[in-house]
Amino acid sequence: MNKEALLKELEIVKADEEKDKEYISKLKRTKDKVKYLRLVKGYTQRDTARMIGITERHVQRIDRALKCR
């Protein structure tokens, strides 16, 4: 992959992340935000925590609760 293609891919990822942040800002419950980012979009626990503004441990707890259902 050449440099231009890589930069374009990074721009797309950044744009998607901005759209995801905009979408989760409309959700009220933290659990719903985590569910969307983790299950629908496939973000890591670390990225999910960073985007929502909570700790990674909090994301882990919510993940565990979602899997028990």
Summarize pLDDT for 1-44 with one digit per residue, the tens.
Answer: 676 776 667 676 666 888 999 999 999 999 999 999 999 888 99
- Provide the 8-state DSSP code for 54: S
Q: What is the pTM of this model?
A: 0.78
pLDDT category, 51, cuts 50, 70, 90?
Answer: very high
User: What pLDDT does 16 receive?
Assistant: 86
Measured between alpha carbons, how far is 32 from 3 in angstroms, rounded to an integer?
Answer: 37
pLDDT at 12: 65
CB 48 within 8 A of CB 34: yes
Cα(52)–Cα(24) distance, integer angstroms = 8
